[in-house]
Amino acid sequence: FEKEPDLLLVPASLAKLMTLHIVYEKLADRSISRSDVVGLSSNAWADHQVPGSSLMYLGPGQIVTVEELMRGVAIFSGNDAATALAEYVAGSAEAFVRMMNEEARFLGYASMHFTDPAGVRPDNQVTAREFADFCRRYITLHPEALKELHSLREIEYPLAQNFPFGGYLSGETRKRYNSNYLVWNDWGVDGL
């Protein structure tokens, strides 16, 4: 079934799947690793994101790995986590967005266009047809993503190890729950 499959739409947080795809590609070519510690610029801090954003709640002084940020993107839909990954992979969010658009063109998508790694700006665009095809490719290329990211129901963050010397700068460890409530049912939903 289809309804207006070629209508241009704003993908919102679905843009983060392209962000994760590029991170998985960089993991595969070994230019980054899951255990890499990512330095957080002030651009990636939670309090510098769009008001009302979905967040991992990153802040100054936190010590966070690529793998933790990937979970923050997939489970919390963290705009701060997407920014941190983008800056780590490409040096800046702007350079990462260029990578996102180059990848979209490489994969043959004519309408898909991104202006930020988190999908918060209204000038990001996709069509349902292209994005459905992209999701199929994402699952084919990165089947581990369903188990290690998208189907997780909860994680705890931040942990003591996320702060210098095992201490806390602010806040406390909290359970964070997957924002996709369908993974909580026993329907076999994988979270993607």
Q: Using an 8 Å Cβ cutoff, are 23 and 85 in contact?
A: yes
Residue 185 DSSP symbol: S
Spatial neighbors of 152 by CB under 8 A, at least 6 apart, are: 71, 74, 75, 178, 183, 191
Give the residue among 77, 76, 93 at the shortest CA–CA distance from 40: 93
- The catalytically annotated residue of 3, 13, 31, 170 is 13
Residue labelled with tokens 């590029």: 22
Catalytic residue among 3, 31, 33, 77: 77
Encoded amino acid at 127, one letter: T
For this structure, is 147 an active site residue?
no
**13 catalytic per annotation:** yes
Q: Catalytic pick from 16, 26, 54, 151?
A: 16
The set of catalytic residues is 13, 16, 77
